[in-house]
Structure 1
Amino acid sequence: MINLINKQLQQFAQTAGDKPRTNLVIHLAAVNLLALLKGQSLGKDPIYPAIYWQDKEQQQTIACLGQIEECTNIPQPTAQACYFGGLAFQQQGEQWLDFPAIRFIRPALEFKLQQQKLTLTCHFNGLHRIDKTIALVNMLQPPQALTAVETTILSRSDLPNQAQWADLVDLAIEYKALLPKVVLSRETQLLCKNRVNHLDLLAQWQQANPNSFHFSVQFSQKHAFISCSPERLFCRKKSQLKTEALAGTINRGRTEREDAFLSQSLLTDKKIDRENYLVQEFIIANLKQLKAKISCEDAYVMQLQNVQHLCVPINATLNAQTTDANLLYKLHPTPAVGGSPKLPALQFINDKEPYLRGWYAGAVGYLSSEKSDFSVAIRSALMTDHSIKLFAGAGIVTGSIAAQEWQELDNKIGTVLDILSAQKGVR
């Protein structure tokens, strides 16, 4: 593979010069892109940034290595540019190490798998030297087989703990006149006996919940942020937009009959309907401010391994002047992860939650002139050394019961806990 890429890069240099202004696309034999990234992560000189992305329809899988540009604002791509990255849950205040309020990169190497066909796009912008890309290609390591996660959980700590959670839920309900809904969340930190490879964990998570977004973002060796998120913030193809109100959660049943009963209750429960409606209302109001033409589809139940959610798809035709930055700032964070009204809910979370959300419940994805796709980074984990931090949230409205919401948080992190405990194999 390396010889083929280098040969085409050298031929490209003869016509495009030392600093090409256009991308080079190379066709390659298909490989598993998680395995490709794992090979780089275990090499003597790992390449960063290293980003993995798969949309929830599984139409495309992408692996990015290296960068030719970095932005700490939301870029507006032109021509062949494509940027990968994301936004933190809140733009103000302290952020995670490596993960600032906004960080996007234009990759040096972008591997894309579509319909079992693999292409490599070598990005150029008229400033990046082709010999730097050749040097990066020469650092590539062979793919490494994905293996079962093998570790022992030595300890678990929750922030907030269960008593603090109950107090927070009671306090949120007291504020119901100002805050019809606020999404409270929890960080669960696991200390593991062995260091867990984040790509092995993501591979098993992917198998458990295939109908989700799957991504991994690693800017340095220190931290990896991974997610198996069921929630789309938006997908834009030219002027056509797809988004969704995903709010309202119930666990899966132990039998088919119980599962069907619980699924039906999602569609009829007044508390869940109110919770979801607040999200719909927010999205529609903000798209109308951008002068979009909007239509909603019927609600349906999205089923995952341990939980199921009420989802209402929303479609829109955008005004020609609307940018991805407009959409990100207007739609993120939705009441599905923040609350309603937006600003009081964010202030409540900022003041009362005892940990830093960082990119949890942020927006992660990519943008280009033709298409942009962003997931809401729920069902996520921040991994470093022997530590895994898992995140989960629950919408608090009138009628919420702290003990039930705490159980919902456990259900939402249950898939990862099962993987870490069960020692299952990976195909």
Structure 2
Amino acid sequence: MIETKEINIDGVLQAAQKQSIDKSAPTFVSVTEKIDKMNAIDFFQSGKVLGKNRIYWSSSDQQTIFAGIGDAVILADSNASYNTIKNKWKKWMQNSKIVNPYDNTRSGPIAFGGFPFDSEEPAEELWRGFDGSQFRVPTFLLTIDHSDVYLTTTVLVEEESHVDQLAAELITEKHQLLHVTHAEFQDNQIVLKHEVDPEAWKTLVERATEKIAANQVDKIVLARELQVEFDQPCDVGQVLSQLQQTQQHSYVFAWEKDGVCFVGATPERLVKVNDQKVFSACIAGTAPRGKTVEQDYEFGQQLLCDQKNREEHQFVVDMIKQAVHSLAKSVHIPDEPVLYPLKNLQHLYTPVEAELEEGYTLLDAVEKLHPTPALCGFPRETALDFIRHFEKLERGWYGAPIGWFDQHFNGEFAVAIRSALINEEKASLFAGCGVVKDSDPEIEYQETAIKFTPMLHALGELK
């Protein structure tokens, strides 16, 4: 049983309603309590009982984990404007009542969501419902920060709200969520796989290399889709459990809307901001892991010395360096990359540290950095134009910024790769690779096949 250090929610809501009346506007109410230890995936699974949208986020070191249930506040913009999301959040914070005695934690009101890869791409059949930029503040947010566990309850209180009834509903739902002893999972099993026109994709790679050979662009990132079907509706909690166990050093995320869930385990941080300190990462260049220590070392050294991969990585470093310098000071970027090992793959990695100039926020940094050459190409606009005209995949949120921010715009965004869009008995997996002048279509095809592996295993493919 989970015991909370109770805060009088009814009293908080009564005070919030008075504020709403005084200001003639709804009040954003957020109440944080410290609770006993609870498993975040169990909490995520318990949200199925309430039939509400869910979110999940685990940092790459697994020291910060969020699980959210319900939609207390939604921030959305069909035009995918970063500035609109920022201004909407500021407006809510200006008319808020936040009860959180734990200032030095990641508890409190937090918005989760993402931006599309390409703001000009319409959300059609595959990504219907994920149009534009969308963020939500969960009604109930479980925060695990190292060994501390918190529950934040968020709700809007209006002038005419029935606060006694609202308080009773929140207490009942909270009790349901916190008193799940251990969540039940079903075993997911893939029964059908279908690659979406791989030969046409290889032909597209050839077309991209021709454009690069003509000196019209240096690099173009092309992505493709793998469709799978299950023998029954996919259990997202089971997928998260598998990813959390197997994809260490990756950000594990899930963002569910009306029964459709975007889920993944990405190694790639886009940007993190904490008290104006900026942390980003350049990740580009890929090799498999070896079956032995010796083979693994050999693959890693080949990657470090491979001209094609080093060139691809340098595009990312140069672009991120330029973007960070435009809004930050004290920028530090090492001269040489190192290896970043994951369970199935290893990458070239260069960390970036800086300090935001006054007036800039995390969302400004996200806007400057996305899309990086690792997910789009270089130069950005030329590569993006090629993708818009010739790539058949509807990218949606794949390869786009996904993450969170708090009331002060501290937070973190990752690049949503190694991911899948799950819709009941079906899922679409996405993988991409950087095409440069020396790219071979078959080798690039095999690289994307390797990149599908983590999600395939997590979704239930036989090992």
Q: Is the 8 A contact 1:24 1:123 kept in 2?
A: yes
Aligned ranges 1:155-166 → 2 under 5 Å: 155-159=192-196, 161-166=197-202
* Cα RMSD after superposing both structures: 2.4
Q: Which residue of 2 is the match for residue 24 of structure 1?
A: 31
In the TM superposition, 1:233-312 aligns within 5 A as 233-297=270-334, 298-312=336-350
- 1:395 partnered with 2:434: yes
Q: Which amino acid aligns with 2:41?
A: L
C-alpha distance in 2 between matches for 1:289 and 1:182: 24
Name the CA distance, whole Å, in 1 between partners of 2:270 and 2:110: 18
**Cα distance 1:24–1:340, how it changes in 2: closer, same or farther (>3 A)?**
same
Name the counterpart of 2:103: none
**For residues 28 and 17 of structure 1, what CA distance do their matches in structure 2 show?**
26
TM-aligned CA deviation for residue 40 of structure 1: 1.5
Which runs of 5 or more structure 2 residues have no equivalent in the other structure?
A: 21-26, 77-83, 99-108
Contact in 1 for aligned 2:4/2:36 (Cα 8 Å): no
Runs (4+) off by over 6 Å: none
The reply on whether 1:51 has 2:72 as its aligned counterpart is no
Please state how far the C-alpha of 1:241 moved relative to its aligned partner: 0.3
Q: Superposed, which structure 2 residues align to 1:226-237 within 5 Å?
A: 226-237=263-274
Query: Hey, what's the Cα distance between the residues in 2 that align with 1:396 and 1:423?
Result: 31
How much does 1:15 deviate?
A: 5.6
> Which residue does 2:370 correspond to in 1?
332
Quote the offset at 1:93 in angstroms: 2.7
Output the amino acid matched with 2:456: L
Q: CA deviation at 1:370?
A: 5.1
**1:8 and 1:26 in contact (8 A); partners too:** no
Q: Report the Cα offset of residue 68 of structure 1.
A: 2.8
2:68 to 36, 59, 64: 64
Of stretches 239-248 and 8-17 in structure 1, the one that deviates more from structure 2 is: 8-17
Residues 1:186 and 2:224 aligned together:
yes
Secondary structure (helix, strand or coil) at the match of 1:311 reads strand
1:301/1:309 contact within 8 Å kept: yes
> How has the CA–CA distance of structure 1 residues 335 and 418 changed in structure 2, closer, same or farther, with 3 Å as cutoff?
same
Distance in 1 between residues matched to 2:347 and 2:331, nearest whole Å: 22
SS at 2:187 equivalent: coil
Cα contact 2:431–2:451 (8 A) shared by 1: yes
1:202-241 equivalences in 2 (<5 Å): 202-221=240-259, 223-241=260-278
- Tell me how far apart the structure 1 counterparts of residues 459 and 423 of structure 2 sit (CA, whole Å): 15
The aligned counterpart of 1:154 is: 191
Q: Aligned partners of 1:337 and 1:419: how far apart in 2?
A: 23
2:139 matched residue in structure 1? 108
Q: Distance in 1 between matches of 2:150 and 2:351?
A: 31
Q: 1:110 to 1:316 in 2, by over 3 A?
A: same
Report the Cα offset of residue 5 of structure 1.
7.9
Partners of 2:257 and 2:167 in 1: CA distance: 18
Aligned-partner SS, 1:286: helix
Equivalent of residue 168 in structure 1, options 182, 198, 204: 204
Aligned twin of 1:10: 10
Deviations 1:6-59 (A, max 9, x none): 863235346655666653211111111111111222x2x4122x1111111222
- Bigger drift between 175-184 and 122-131 goes to 122-131
Q: Summarize deviations over 1:223-277 as a string: whole Å, max 9, x none.
A: 0110100000000012210001100001111211010011112211111111011
Deviation at 1:189, TM superposition (A): 0.4
Per-residue Cα deviation, 1:317-360 (whole angstroms, up to 9, x for no partner): 11102123321221111111111111111111111111201111
Cα distance in 2 for partners of 1:423, 1:111 equals 32
Query: How far, CA to CA, are the matches of 1:258 and 1:273 in structure 2?
Result: 20
Q: What is the percent sequence identity of the aligned residues?
A: 27
For residue 8 of structure 2, give the secondary structure of its aligned residue in structure 1. helix
- Secondary structure of the equivalent of 1:71? strand
* Cα distance in 2 between the residues matched to 1:220 and 1:305: 32
Taking a change above 3 Å as real, the CA distance of residues 205 and 109 of structure 1, as seen in their structure-2 partners, is same
* Amino acid in structure 1 at the alignment position of 2:277: Q
Q: What letter is aligned with 1:75?
A: K
Residue 126 of structure 1 and its aligned partner are, at CA, apart by: 5.9
Offset, 1:278: 0.4
Change (3 A) 1:338 1:262: same
Task: Give the deviation of 1:62 after TM superposition.
Answer: 0.7
Judge which range, 323-332 or 398-407, deviates more.
323-332
> Which of 37, 41, 47 is the matching residue for 1:40?
47
Report the count of equivalent residues.
418
Contact 2:188 2:235 in 1 (8 A): no
TM-score computed with the length of structure 1 as normaliser: 0.91
Given candidates 169, 182, 194, the residue that maps to 1:135 is 169
Q: How far 1:92 sits from its partner (Å)?
A: 1.2
Q: In the aligned structure 2, how far is the partner of 1:23 from the partner of 1:62? A: 16
Measure the CA separation in 2 of the matches of 1:186 and 1:133. Answer: 47
Distance 1:158 1:293, change over 3 A: same
Alpha-carbon distance between aligned partners in 2 of 1:407 and 1:62, rounded to the nearest angstrom = 34
Distance (Å, rounded) in 2 between the aligned partners of 1:418 and 1:286: 36
- Contact map agreement 2:240 2:252 (CA 8 A) in 1: yes
TM-score (norm 2): 0.84
CA contact 2:4–2:34 (8 Å) conserved in 1: no
